[in-house]
Amino acid sequence: MTKTQTTREILADLVGFDTTSARSNLALIEHVRAYLAGHGVTAEIFPSEDGTKASLWATIGPAGPGGIILSGHTDCVPVEGQAWSSDPFTLTERDGRLYGRGACDMKGFDAAALAIVPELVAAKLERPVHIALSYDEEVGCTGVRGMIAALSARGEKPAACLVGEPTSMQVVVGHKGGRGYRCHVTGQEAHSSLAPRAVNAIEYAAELIVYIRDLAGELAIGPRDDEYDVVHTTISTGLISGGTAVNIVPNACSFTFEYRNLIEVDPDTVIDRIRDFAETKLLPEMRSRAPQANITFEQFYDYPALAIDPSHPLVTRLKGVVGHNGHGKVAYGTEAGLFQRDLGVPTVVCGPGSIDMAHKPDEYVAIEQLDRCDAMLRKLLL
């Protein structure tokens, strides 16, 4: 049997794998599979379509319905262009903090979930504990979807799910949904001296961007939830690219925008309004001069909002376990909404570390936070 490892030791192993979203996570997944096998636990692997990545599902305890999912993602964001004080892929301790890419978001929770496995195996559980590790959460919660679909198809029905994103060990009962789109505007080029005969793709993209800005103003006075730091649905443009030379009317322009919606706001309605403005206001004018002119939208990420009643037994139980009666809501997204919507499992978010430390150089998780997470899992599961 594999020797018992502490959360910190396992975290050092996990941080040592460069699993930025552009890279494979297979080496990490194989490492975890071998670790679980060493404790007599069989892991099921769900590979990506191209086989370069995978999610992992493992069950400790009796087969059957009920029990709880401990869910975490294995990918992290890049370190290029960031000024780190130490190697981001070597866990380094300084002043009670453990530094490394992913230490906070969210390999710290992954490590805690794995560290307790030997105790769970020895406890002869009455209800199962499931470990779910996914890929590509950072680029739209894509990796967990195939695993959830397979679990749903075979009738898996856990009673609860805990997603261990960094919340400073506060119980989180809601987060906004999110969608991202690329918009491609196709016009007709011409020499700039003949601009009235052309269709300036940048200018029409700009009109659409202004419409999106105005829509943001409408959303700001729409449904509100005062438990969020930003209490309303938001939408904004993040990137734009177009044109080739100052004396050429541009025939192409692309930009990206995203919105983060409260659960009360239908995300389809938001994009439908933007599409309608493009199709009824902009395209007729563009095509009067260039029949081939077009505006298209490409969705590149989508995850649903999360909401669970603060009086739900799962929330009450978790508050008792962490020793804090408060709860919160966060603007960032997680796979929690997918477990709740697509698997029908009541889901909360609670994990070690602060989201303020995520995605930054010198990302860290405090050792005190890992200790609190270890204590939470023992009280919750044993």
Whether 2 has a pLDDT exceeding 70, the answer reads no
> Is 229 annotated as catalytic?
no
149 and 113 share one domain = yes
- pLDDT 10s digits, 137-164: 999 999 999 999 999 999 999 999 999 9
167 and 181 share one domain = no
Residue type, 229: D
Say which of 136, 137, 156, 189 is annotated catalytic.
137
Mean pLDDT for the stretch of residues 253-273: 97
Say which of 18, 75, 138, 374 is annotated catalytic.
75
115 and 138 share one domain = yes
* CATH number for 39: 3.40.630.10
Residue 1 lies in a domain: no
Residue 346 lies in a domain: yes
Structural element, H or E, at residue 301: strand 294-303
352 and 291 share one domain = no
The pLDDT mean for the chain works out to 97
Decide: helix, strand or coil at residue 277: helix
Mean pLDDT for the stretch of residues 315-331: 95
Domain housing 155: 7-175+305-381
Q: Which residue, of 303, 323, 349, is where some domain finishes?
A: 303
55 and 158 share one domain = yes
134 and 197 share one domain = no
The 3-state DSSP composition of the chain as helix, strand, coil percent (nearest 5) reads 35, 25, 40
223 and 103 share one domain = no
| 338, 220, 332, 89: CA torsion to nearest 10 | 140
Q: Provide the domain count of the chain.
A: 2
d(CA 36, CA 243): 54
- pTM, whole model, 2 decimals? 0.93
Residue 2 lies in a domain: no
351 and 365 share one domain = yes
The torsion region of residue 198 among left (phi > 0), alpha (psi -120 to 50) and beta comes to beta
Residue 220 lies in a domain: yes
Those residues with Cβ within 8 angstroms of residue 356's Cβ, 6 or more apart along the chain or in another chain: none
- pLDDT 10s digits, 199-241: 999 999 999 999 999 999 999 999 999 999 999 999 999 999 9
Residue 290 lies in a domain: yes
> Is 276 annotated as catalytic?
no
E strand spans, 202-262: 234-242, 248-249, 252-261
Q: Which residue, of 251, 268, 303, is where some domain finishes?
A: 303
